[in-house]
Amino acid sequence: MTTDSKGTMKAISLWQPYASLIACGAKFYETRSWAPPRSMIGQPIAIHAAKKIDKSIGEFVDEICYGQHPDGGFDLADKLAASLSRCPSDLLGCFGDGSVLPIGCVVAIGVLDAAFRLGEPAPHAARPAMTVTRRLISRPMPECFTVRVDDFGDYSPGRWAWLLRDVKALNPPARATGRQGIFDLPQGWLCA
């Protein structure tokens, strides 16, 4: 695992269920209104599950956790359950009608492979996709690249889609305090 010269790792905090959807491999893009720093492209990033629980999405979380999401069904529910199978009960927050997900902890580490500024919907795409107006990339990619839209982000024109690859779930998750924006996890955070 790579850290900077101070022994820290960059992290970003997401609300649930989005952090766990990245950890289980169901969410490839994190959508934001802002671009990441160019220096972070190609670098590891920790995915932190925020401590705040948004009760307004309880039904959505239940749908995902109980195999009712149309783009994943029970396969998605099983992946999600497997990614948090060893999570200590004191890190679990209650969402919806009994669905639990980790909060206040790092749930995964991945590589921030690229970031794409979204344009208009891609014409003639087999699945809903957005054109790209600007890109920050770590490796060669086709010039005619589109970002596939899913239910797990805000893909509005002008927003940024951060592409994550080589994501590894931390099971059990590592307790950590999150912050807004990109923040540094302290040296030794994984052992704490």
Domain ranges of the chain: 9-113+164-191
State mean pLDDT over 129-148. 88
Q: Alpha carbon of 52 to those of 22, 58, 119: distances in Å?
A: 18, 13, 31
State mean pLDDT over 43-55. 93
What pLDDT is recorded for position 132?
A: 93
State mean pLDDT over 135-149. 87
What pLDDT is recorded for position 7?
A: 61
State mean pLDDT over 26-33. 96
Cβ(134)–Cβ(147) under 8 Å?
A: no
For the cut 70, the answer to whether the pLDDT of residue 5 exceeds it is no
Confidence band for 6, pLDDT divided at 50, 70 and 90: low
How many CA atoms does the CB half-sphere of 50 hold within 13 Å?
A: 15
> Tell me: the pLDDT tens digits for 56-107?
888 989 999 998 988 888 999 999 899 888 999 999 999 878 889 999 999 9
Confidence band for 30, pLDDT divided at 50, 70 and 90: very high
Q: Measured on CA atoms in the order 186, 44, 81, 59, is the torsion positive or negative? A: positive
64 Cα distance to chain centroid: 15
> Tell me: the pLDDT tens digits for 7-19?
679 999 999 999 9
Q: How far apart are the first and last CA of the chain?
A: 16
| C-alpha torsion angle, residues 166, 12, 155, 99 (rounded to 10) | 90
What pLDDT is recorded for position 145?
A: 82
Hey, what amino acid is at 50?
A
For the cut 50, the answer to whether the pLDDT of residue 153 exceeds it is yes
For the cut 70, the answer to whether the pLDDT of residue 4 exceeds it is no
Segments in 3-133 forming alpha helices (H):
18-23, 58-65, 73-83
Measured CA to CA, the distance from residue 33 to residue 130 in angstroms comes to 15
The mean pLDDT of the chain is 90
